[in-house]
Structure 1
Amino acid sequence: MNDLFFLFLILMSLTPALRQQILEARRAQIMRQLEQKRGSRVISLIHRQETVSLLGIGIHRYISIEDAEEVLRAIRLTDPACPIDMIVHTPGGLVLAAEQIAWALAQHPAKVTVFVPHYAMSGGTLLALAADEIVMDPFAVLGPVDPQIGQYAAASILAAVRRKGSAQVSDETLILADVAEKALGQVEHSVRQLLERKMPAAQAARVARLLTSGVWTHDHPLRVEDVRALGLPVSTDMPPEIYSLMALYPQPTRMRPSVEYVPLPYRSDRPAGKGQA
């Protein structure tokens, strides 16, 4: 009886690792299929919570220095004449890491395409700005790239000091305002330099100011038509392989799923569409 119990514990401990290996093998297969189809190097930067332990604990993920190291390594391993296709799904992350990746993409001699199947906010948008072409799902979004100082937007810190006056705020707030002002200038400068590769300098300066100055909240969604209005090259021709790849990055297991549907493609003859009986 004890032997069976210990065998059960061993199987339970090995199952998550085995499941993860299967997922990784399927991801690699789809990425290789996409590379062969497009004649490119495919790099994914996908931040989703995954159940990676026996207790089912999800890990919050974002663009990190480790991500930058891996992406830069992948770019170095890519022939200068080989196009790069980067799949980005992220809430953002460290400015330093995002800028390192963005400049490595921008300086790759062959064409660079960034695919956004769902969302690429903040630092993820910075990567999209570095691409020669952005491919978004029709309902995918990008976002502003205004810097954040701790839990506050840099632009909001400066606005608070202006409204109250420097004599009415603490020394700590004044220090935060100084850091915020520098951060805004640095990020705007980087964005403007990236954009000047694909549009006139005056337009690049205007768009960089709009994206970095806190005109919108940090989570404001920029849809396909909004991105096009900024003058950026955007397509909605998303390869089906990318949707298949995203399905292999599961969210943490819950007792009851929040969204349920029959996982089959429905044709126009079923079910009835809008306005049909």
Structure 2
Amino acid sequence: MNVEDRVYLLERLEQLRKSKVLVYFSYSTLDDSILVPLYRQLKEIGPTPKIDLILHSYGGTVDTPYKVVMLIREFCQEFSIIVPYVAKSAASMMVLGADEVVMGPLSELGPIDPLVKHPVYKDILVPVQAVWHCFDYLQRSITTSSDPEIASFMATPMLNKLDPWLIGDYEKTIKASRQYAEILMTNYMFKNSPERVETVVRALTEGYYSHGYPIGHREAKELGLNVLSAQGELLDVIWNLYQIYAELFKEK
């Protein structure tokens, strides 16, 4: 499909949703580099009753989702996120700051598990829970081993490579992800049922062992999220837009 097809589908989506539509489609880490381009687009649109964000992201840093949500909400009264396929980890946290999430049969949210620097290889980003489970494994290996001295001897070289300040930063990241999730849900996604916030925060930050666990539209509803299951023309338009953007990234 060409540019005209993409523009037509975006305009049709705006008609169907009675909104202004923004798109964030990326395979790169979600971080603060999104903020200035997003602000430019929002200024161009100006204040508007409703904004929909088409979101495709595998996640990123812990602070960015909150900043994105609060920036968009400066320009609208109602904010929804459309997930054609994947909005994982930090991108799932962004969903918690919407009034509604639009999902289809292939749409996936995921556990809230932000990325942090690898404790040894600084250029590599890893899910913070993976690091923390490593610490937990080492601790259990030492305390439950039939010969704790041997287990400690094996674990000590790895532990010696870890910067204690970095470990503290991991702990802060976990606490920050919980704090942001609580604030966003209380003020937006769960504003009508605040009593469920604590349970859902615990589920999203501690309840799933796989970083890539797929939370589909049915499970998202069971958690209590305000999910619109896209059907008919709405689903077709959303999916066609996803395919166009996916093809654009293949060409780069």
TM-score by structure 2 length?
0.75
Greater mean deviation of Cα atoms: 109-118 or 98-107 = 98-107
Rounded to whole Å, the distance in 2 between the matches of 1:115 and 1:248 is 15
Q: Does 1:44 align with 2:20?
A: no
5+ residue gaps, structure 1, are: 1-21, 48-59, 254-277
**Equivalent residue for 2:185, pick from 167, 181, 195:** 195
Matched, 1:185 2:159: no
8 Å CA contact 2:66, 2:97 repeated in 1 = no
After TM superposition, the structure 1 stretch with the greater mean CA deviation from structure 2, 146-155 or 128-137, is: 146-155
**Alignment match, 2:85:** 118
Q: 2:224 aligns with which of 219, 231, 246?
A: 231
Contact 2:65 2:91 in 1 (8 A): yes
Alignment-derived partner of residue 85 in structure 1: 52
Contact 1:64 1:97 in 2 (8 A): yes
Q: How does 1:1-277 map to 2 (within 5 A)?
A: 23-47=2-26, 60-106=27-73, 108-150=75-117, 151-165=125-139, 168=156, 169-170=159-160, 172=162, 174-197=164-187, 198-199=190-191, 200-213=193-206, 215-238=208-231, 239=234, 240-249=236-245, 250=247, 252=250
Counting matched residue pairs gives 220
2:164 is matched by which residue type in structure 1? L
- The CA distance in 2 between the partners of 1:188 and 1:125, in whole Å, is 13
CA contact (8 A) 1:184 1:213 kept: no
Contact 2:90 2:113 (8 Å CA) reproduced: no
Give how far 1:156 is off: 3.5
Say which SS state the counterpart of residue 140 (structure 1) adopts.
coil
The percent of aligned pairs where both chains have the same amino acid is 23
- Cα 1:38–1:149 change in 2 (3 A) is closer
Unaligned runs of 5+ in 2: 118-124, 143-151
TM-score, normalised relative to structure 1: 0.69
Matched-pair contact (CA < 8 Å) for 1:106–1:130: no
User: CA separation in 2, counterparts of 1:203 and 1:71?
Assistant: 31
Larger radius of gyration: 1
Contact 1:147 1:212 survives alignment (8 Å): no
SS of equivalent residue, structure 2 residue 30? coil
1:274 alignment counterpart = none
Query: Residue type of the partner of 2:6?
Result: R
The structure with more helix, counted as a fraction of residues: 2
Shift of 1:106: 4.7
